[in-house]
Amino acid sequence: MKNIFNFSIMLTWLLLVQISCGKETEKPLPEPEPKPSGPTPVQFSKPSYFPAPVYDLSKNPLTEEGIELGRFLFYDGILSRTDNIGCGTCHQQQAAFTHHGHDLSHGVDDKLGTRNSPSVQNMAWNTSFFWDGGVHAMDEVPPVPIQNEVEMGERTANVIEKLKKTPVAGAVKQVDYPKMFKAAFGTDEITADKMMKALSQFMMTMVSATSRYDYHLQGDASALNALEKEGLSVFKQKCSSCHATELFTDHSFRNNGLPPNRINDQGRYAITLNESDRLKFKVPSLRNVGLTAPYMHDGRFTTLEEVLNHYANDNVKPGIHESATLDPLLKTGTKPGIQLNASEKQSIIAFLKTLNDEQFIRDKRFSDPGIGTSL
């Protein structure tokens, strides 16, 4: 009896081994390469003159399907309470992913926010996000506008529930998110972590480095004209301490002398509660600056001329606001500001426009797949 028992265990074991090893004993057939299953990996490429990206791709490797899912999520109004405000509403491609025609963010129910929507470009190099740098990881960026009452006015948890119920029968725009999540992550389970990762994958690909200035950097002598080259030279002397590197920002927070606005926005102070951070805002990149009007954290200036007049402390009333945290770089001369004459301003503006990236704002890979809304 004992032997029979032992023998049956042995048999079961052999059977199990047989099953698990079954494939190996089959004769390999000269078949064509098996179709790759699962998402297709995408190699992240960066311009040689950009620093190493900050985002850790090892925790979220790029795939074609992940990027495509991110693109759909980016444009889909389902992320908002009213189902009609997507990320792409306030980050429009033709304006280098800012909100053309709006000084302050404009969200659900025609509500207005307090700050100007920043450009979504070259996100991979950002050390922090938003005008006050409150958020440190790209994966944690989307919940901020989604859950902001005057922007998208929704709860992330509810977005996940809505995505799970797609495709919605009878909807004009049929998007099957369970299917897209399955293609991107191998499981049709929809989670917030995966949603944020897909959005990050898409935003990682949004690299702007095909402006005329980039061609100049790559050795095309005719890419910039004489005025633009003159502007580049003045820019390097007078602006590049803050708008540093080929990303045109040093990622710091500075008080550039703007008088506090009506709501008395204290900028980074609200994040750190540190007196030395009062009225400081992030130095934005100047890539595509010619396309992203209006300017400053509250969109108070509509033209680059006004911006330069502010820094030169000319013809703008009120001028540079002298407070305790005013940036030391604006206190080097006899009066606060940067010494700039009329022709210098003109050449700088000419140079700044060479940072417009026409290819970036037309690139089909970043465009609305036909589900977006704009207000």
Specify the residue, 74 or 253, whose C-beta has the smaller distance to another protein: 253
Q: Which two tokens stand for residue 5?
A: 């028992």
Q: Does the CA dihedral 161-134-311-318 come out positive or negative?
A: positive
**Residues 139/140/146/148 CA torsion (nearest 10 deg):** -160
C-beta of 12 vs 94, nearer to another protein:
12
Closest separation in Å from C-beta 6 to another protein? 4
Per-residue exposure over 334-370, b if at least 16 CB sit within 10 Å of its own CB, e if not: eebbbebeeebbbbbbbbbbbbbbeebbebeebebee
| Dihedral sign from CA coordinates of 18, 24, 28, 29 | positive
CA dist 139 and 194 (Å) reads 9
Does 349 help bind another protein (rule: CB under 8 A)?
A: no
The correct pick among 16, 109, 140, 171 for binding another protein (CB under 8 A) is: 140
Which three-class secondary structure state does DSSP give residue 227? helix
Closer to another protein by Cβ: residue 309 or 325: 325
How many Cβ atoms sit within 10 Å of the Cβ of residue 205?
18
Site for another protein contains 134 (CB under 8 A): yes
* Residue among 136, 165, 335, 365 that touches another protein (CB under 8 A): 136
Residue 140 or 322 with smaller CB distance to another protein: 140
What's the CA gap between 132 and 251, in Å, rounded? 11
Give the nearer residue to another protein in terms of CB position, either 157 or 342: 157
Span near another protein by CB under 8 A; candidates 44-52, 132-140, 240-248, 306-314:
132-140
For residue 298, give both structure tokens. Answer: 């509250």
- The distance of Cα 28 from the centroid of its chain, to the nearest Å, equals 48
Per-residue mark of binding to another protein, 211-250 (x: CB under 8 A): ----------------------------------------
Q: Which of 78, 79, 184, 196 binds another protein (CB under 8 A)?
A: 196
Minimum distance, C-beta of residue 339 to another protein, in the bound complex (Å): 33
Taking the complex as a whole, the smallest distance from the CB of residue 69 to another protein amounts, in Å, to 16
Counting contacts by CB under 8 A, is residue 266 touching another protein?
no
Query: Per rule CB under 8 A, is residue 6 in the interface with another protein?
Result: yes
Among 42, 57, 135, 316, binds another protein (CB under 8 A): 135
Q: Quick one: 2 or 364, whose CB is closer to another protein?
A: 2
Judged by CB under 8 A, the stretch of 36-44, 77-85, 127-135, 254-262 that binds another protein is 127-135
SS3 content of the chain, % helix, strand, coil (to 5): 40, 5, 55
Residue 17 is a binding residue for another protein (CB under 8 A): no
Whether the bond between 318 and the residue before it is cis, its omega within 30 degrees of 0, is: yes
Which residues, 45 to 74, sit near another protein by CB under 8 A? Answer: 59
Least distance CB 328 / another protein (angstroms): 19
- Work out which of 84, 114, 147, 374 binds another protein, going by CB under 8 A: 147
Structure tokens at 104: 């302050």
For the segment 150-189, give every residue that binds another protein (CB under 8 A): 155-157, 160
Is the N-terminal amide bond of 167 cis, ω within 30° of 0?
Answer: yes
Place of tokens 């799970």: 164
Q: In the bound complex, what is the minimum distance in angstroms from residue 13's beta carbon to another protein? A: 7
Nearest CA to 276 among 331, 326, 330? 326
**φ, ψ (nearest 5 deg) of residue 129:** -130, 155
Strand, helix or coil for residue 306: helix
Minimum CB distance to another protein smaller for 199 or for 348: 199
Q: Does 16 bind another protein (CB under 8 A)?
A: no
Q: Which positions touch another protein (CB under 8 A)?
A: 2-3, 6-7, 9-10, 13, 59, 130, 132, 134-136, 139-140, 143-144, 147-148, 155-157, 160, 191-193, 196, 270-274
